[in-house]
With several copies, the nearest count.
Chain A
């Protein structure tokens, strides 16, 4: 039965050896050998240390292409031309689905055709040695970024391959990323991943773990994201993880974003054990981007400005080509530099904004009530509580595609652009909190002369890509300045 208990060493070894048999490259992932490799790395590649000792927000992009040489080139480019402080390796979708066979085909095709036929780096297929070559070819520490519900083999291979940070978690890489994966099973799989990281940690190789804060990336109310971060942090800590980077995705309202990042750090430190070092990561806007690089740079600019005000430990940057597709390396580096310029111009300024405390307070109260509800759903066991709370809808994520989540919660912005909750489902939130949200949404409804409804949600989902923060109803729908894209979108008739 699922329990929030540390996996015994022998069980870890047993499962590991079973998993290593699933794909030929698994055999090369020898733990002792891996420890040795990690110990051979210079201090500048120790992810946890570099991140935790930084005196300014470190920048990290997302990036992954199928071939090893291309991936090395890409990362070197992001380091030298983008000034990335921390590097990523984003994994392809087949690997995320554990379809190593299909990934192998895609990789072979990529090698033959020279085209990027996969949307990321199939690390399992590449295997341990290739990963080590990658780690050795760059100067900064590298993280595995993916979206994999069952990331056990991926973790075995990549950690043995020298990566020192591993993104994801049982909620954050299930609920937003899949339809049918069972949540209980996913938690077990991540207990394994965390336990593996814990095993490295015990041997002095402190693997950084980063739960994925943005979730569905689309108007996620801060308290929900924070509650999920705390729960995943707790589960990871149980397994021996000692370096935890909790995430949060920008919503675009400056006061709310700064308040949320502070609340995240505050509650992270409060809930997580003292021997785990807690850091925070701020993701630049994760929702729909404008179909125009110039306006996208504006969105990125607001991300950088917010980061300068909130001072998270790390910022995950976006590129101006986010709307279009996987960015070119130049665009990816551009996103880094735009962000860097804003942070560096603002970070030395003292800019004290009113009302942050109040918003932070509201977020903390709500997040606490969600975490407490998880704990009580599990009679004190966070693992079981998570499953039960999602099942009952006490914990929920808006726009969740997963069958494990109610997805009954619907967010909408208030008149100031802060993300509030319009539909609560069965979310475990105090009535007093609900009243505050409802009052704020009523205020907006009055301003707009329409009633609160799904139309607000739909309008808000598109607002930033349409060039605004709040999806106000417009008298006419067309018009507006051009967007630098040739066709104003739409269909191409086949006749």
Chain B
């Protein structure tokens, strides 16, 4: 793993919410991610492990988050994420949503797993081989993009 140089640019001040959903306690992945995102200049709100859907939604709402990053390792991701996107929508949260980690119980087919989480509403689905740098790169793209669009909209109105 390579970690980005400490002190990159700040990314539009948009907060990134990070947490492990459900009763999952695997903390190492988000610890590494938090460090990499912070080093890349993101404003990270790390909710830690065993975070409920409600906690994700209220954090996203109160921080006006640009992105919500959900981690799940222990194999119950699908059950744990049911309804999360509906609640985010109810809260008028338009953050991009990522999910990553070890998303199925057992030796499942990845393409299948991926579809399941797209159906649930996630914008991007990451497997457990994900390099933190790839997450940084993706977020940079998605958040700048979102920001630009928003700006354009306000100029036009």
Whether A and B touch directly in their complex, counting CB atoms under 8 A apart, is answered as yes
The smallest beta-carbon distance between B137 and chain A, in angstroms, is 9
Q: Which of A443-495 contact B (CB under 8 A)?
A: 454-455, 458-459, 461-462, 466, 471, 473-474, 477, 485, 487-495
The smallest beta-carbon distance between A494 and chain B, in angstroms, is 5
Within 8 Å CB of B92, what residues of A?
none
Within 8 Å CB of B100, what residues of A?
491
Chain A, 390-418, contact with B by CB distance < 8 Å: what is the 0/1 string?
00000000011100000000000000000
| Nearest opposing residue in chain B for A456, CB measure | B3
Question: How many residues of A are in contact with the other chain, CB < 8 A?
Answer: 51
Given A216-B27, A474-B2, A490-B129: A328 touches B107 (CB 8 Å cut-off): yes
Q: Does B84 contact A (CB under 8 A)?
A: no
Q: Does A326 contact B (CB under 8 A)?
A: yes
Q: Which of A97-136 contact B (CB under 8 A)?
A: 97, 99, 116-119
Chain B, 86-112, contact with A by CB distance < 8 Å: what is the 0/1 string?
000000000000101010111110100
Chain B, 102-127, contact with A by CB distance < 8 Å: what is the 0/1 string?
10111110100010001000111111
Q: Which residues of B contact A (CB under 8 A)?
A: 1-3, 20, 23-28, 31-32, 35-36, 48-50, 74-76, 98, 100, 102, 104-108, 110, 114, 118, 122-135, 138
Q: Does A8 contact B (CB under 8 A)?
A: no
Chain A, 287-306, contact with B by CB distance < 8 Å: what is the 0/1 string?
11001000000000000000
Q: Does A325 contact B (CB under 8 A)?
A: yes
Within 8 Å CB of A233, what residues of B?
none
Contact A325 B108 (CB under 8 A): yes
Partner of B49, one of A401, A462, A471: A401
In the complex, given contacts A331-B107, A462-B1, A490-B131, what are 18 additional A-B residue pairs having Cβ atoms less than 8 angstroms apart? A93-B76, A177-B25, A178-B49, A180-B50, A291-B128, A325-B106, A401-B25, A401-B26, A454-B3, A471-B1, A473-B2, A487-B127, A488-B129, A490-B126, A492-B124, A493-B124, A494-B118, A494-B124
Q: How far apart sit A324 and B1, CA to CA, in the bound complex (Å)?
A: 19
B-side interface mostly:
loop
Partner of B106, one of A94, A116, A323, A471: A116
Given A116-B106, A328-B107, A474-B2: A176 touches B131 (CB 8 Å cut-off): no
Contact A179 B107 (CB under 8 A): no
Given A471-B1, A490-B127: A325 touches B107 (CB 8 Å cut-off): yes
Q: How far apart sit A323 and B102, CA to CA, in the bound complex (Å)?
A: 9
Within 8 Å CB of B138, what residues of A?
491
Within 8 Å CB of A243, what residues of B?
none
| Nearest opposing residue in chain A for B23, CB measure | A97
Contact B50 A455 (CB under 8 A): no
The smallest beta-carbon distance between A288 and chain B, in angstroms, is 7
Q: Does A191 contact B (CB under 8 A)?
A: no
Within 8 Å CB of A494, what residues of B?
118, 122-125
Contact A477 B129 (CB under 8 A): no
| Nearest opposing residue in chain B for A106, CB measure | B79
Most A-side CB within 10 Å, residue of B74, B130, B134: B74
Within 8 Å CB of B122, what residues of A?
494
Within 8 Å CB of B23, what residues of A?
93-94, 96-97, 99
Partner of A458, one of B1, B74, B105, B130: B1
Given A97-B23, A491-B125: A399 touches B1 (CB 8 Å cut-off): no
Partner of B1, one of A97, A176, A461, A492: A461
Contact B130 A490 (CB under 8 A): yes
Given A93-B23, A97-B23, A216-B28: A454 touches B35 (CB 8 Å cut-off): yes
Within 8 Å CB of A218, what residues of B?
28
Within 8 Å CB of A466, what residues of B?
1
Within 8 Å CB of A400, what residues of B?
27
Contact A179 B28 (CB under 8 A): no
The smallest beta-carbon distance between A370 and chain B, in angstroms, is 22
The smallest beta-carbon distance between B34 and chain A, in angstroms, is 10
Within 8 Å CB of B104, what residues of A?
325
Contact B27 A461 (CB under 8 A): no
Within 8 Å CB of B107, what residues of A?
321, 324-328, 331
Q: List 11 A-B contacts (CB under 8 A).
A: A93-B76, A218-B28, A321-B107, A325-B102, A400-B27, A401-B48, A477-B2, A490-B126, A491-B100, A491-B134, A495-B123
Most B-side CB within 10 Å, residue of A97, A176, A400, A454: A454
The smallest beta-carbon distance between B113 and chain A, in angstroms, is 10
Contact A490 B134 (CB under 8 A): yes
Most B-side CB within 10 Å, residue of A94, A96, A462, A474: A462
| Nearest opposing residue in chain A for B76, CB measure | A93
